[in-house]
Amino acid sequence: MASKNLQNIILLYNIILICGLCLVYSKAELPRFEHPIKPDGSLSILVVGDWGRRGAYNQTEVAAQMAKIGDQVEPDFIISTGDNFYEDGLTGVDDPAFEESFSNIYLGPSLQKQWYNVLGNHDYRGDVLAQLDPILRKKDSKWLCLRSFILNTDVAEFFFIDTTPFVDKYFTNPKHHKYDWRGVLPRDEYLFNLLKDLDTALKESSSDWKIVVGHHTLRSAGKHGITFELEERLLPVLQENNVDLYVNGHDHCLEHISSPDSPLQFLTSGGGSKAWRGNIRPWSPEELKLYYDGQGFMAMKLTKLLFLHFT
């Protein structure tokens, strides 16, 4: 890293197959939440994406491994990078897929923490408002899903961003899929306001670490590769505001790509269930620090130094 030397980031790759919640006022338009850290000043997180398959494609096995690692690292909360319910999101707040793909899968004691979720493209194929409905928190108190929001801790600030509306093909060539754009249209206005609010929030942030979470890839050697709409519109905002990490799902793999021209690091955690074996694009070995094409998740421990564990 430039502003934060890369030697201050220690990456440990162990590949295994496979709170208090308070909404507070923010000057920016994005909702803001606060989450406490451990008494020793550290913060532990699990990150998983692309998971909701009613236990199929090793989702149950990944959840079991998450629980085991969770017992060791004692996560303060869990981040989902989207595609929470396959193939077509939820049909409504009473869809049994919520329990069958979430509540009945992530049963380990260490996973009974707050989950902060963003939406993926598959979630937009269903009833988006159902995933955002507070009634799901009544069904399972650890669930929290918004389109975009900010999570502040004393160690780092997380900016969760709704990336699906950026992607042109979901609007111009949806094929046989139907997307739920309620709350998004008119699209240009929605994206303009989102980027403006994100830029404002990042500029206001005094956190040592700025971490942006979205579903779609910005840099990836996986099947989806670069999301060019995000590269054009989101990436400049991240670089201008010295964001440290962009964390995403969408590609069903685990990877870490470094940026050659800025401190920004790209982390993919999309191995929550179905993996895409052998699907890797050529990438500069100087930038591609890790690529694993199987199931898994990411464990992250933050202090004044940043420790990342891929599992």
Output the 3-class SS for the chain.
CCCCCHHHEEEEECCCCCCCCEEECCCCCCCEEECCCCCCCCEEEEEECCCCCCCCCCHHHHHHHHHHHHHHHCCCEEEECCCCCCCCCCCCCCCCHHHHHHHCCCCCHHHCCEEEECCCCCHHHCCHHHHHCCHHHHHCCCEEECCCEEEECCCCEEEECCCHHHCCHHHHCCCCCCCCCCCCCCHHHHHHHHHHHHHHHHHHCCCCCEEEECCCCCCCCCCCCCCHHHHHHCHHHHHHCCCCEEEECCCCCEEEEECCCCCCEEEEECCCCCCCCCCCCCCCCCCEEEEECCCCCEEEEECCCEEEEEC
Per-residue pLDDT band at 303 (split at 50, 70, 90): confident
pTM: 0.91
Per-residue pLDDT band at 311 (split at 50, 70, 90): low
Whether the CB-CB separation of 269 and 245 falls below 8 Å is answered with: no
Q: What are residue 47's DSSP bridge partners?
A: 79, 298
Whether residue 190 has pLDDT greater than 60: yes
- Strand pairing class (114-117; 22-24): unpaired
Task: Using alpha carbons, select from 254, 262, 259, 255 the residue that is nearest to residue 287.
Answer: 259
Q: Which two tokens stand for residue 192?
A: 């303009």
Dist CA 281 CA 286 (whole Å): 15
Round the average pLDDT of the chain to a whole number and report it. Answer: 91
Give pLDDT, residue 17. 28
Task: Using alpha carbons, select from 266, 275, 224 the residue that is nearest to residue 121.
Answer: 224
Dist CA 94 CA 135 (whole Å): 9
Over residues 119-146, the pLDDT tens digits come to: 999 999 999 999 999 999 999 999 999 9
Mean pLDDT computed over 28-40: 91
Whether residue 100 has pLDDT greater than 50: yes
Q: Which residue has the higher pLDDT, 29 or 30?
A: 30
224 catalytic per annotation: yes
Give pLDDT, residue 208. 86
Whether the CB-CB separation of 209 and 1 falls below 8 Å is answered with: no
What is 6-310's CATH topology?
Purple Acid Phosphatase; chain A, domain 2 (3.60.21)
CB atoms within 10 A of CB 59: 24
> Which is catalytic among the residues 224, 252, 256, 309?
224
Domain edges within the chain: 6-310
Per-residue pLDDT band at 29 (split at 50, 70, 90): confident
Give pLDDT, residue 308. 65
Give pLDDT, residue 5. 36
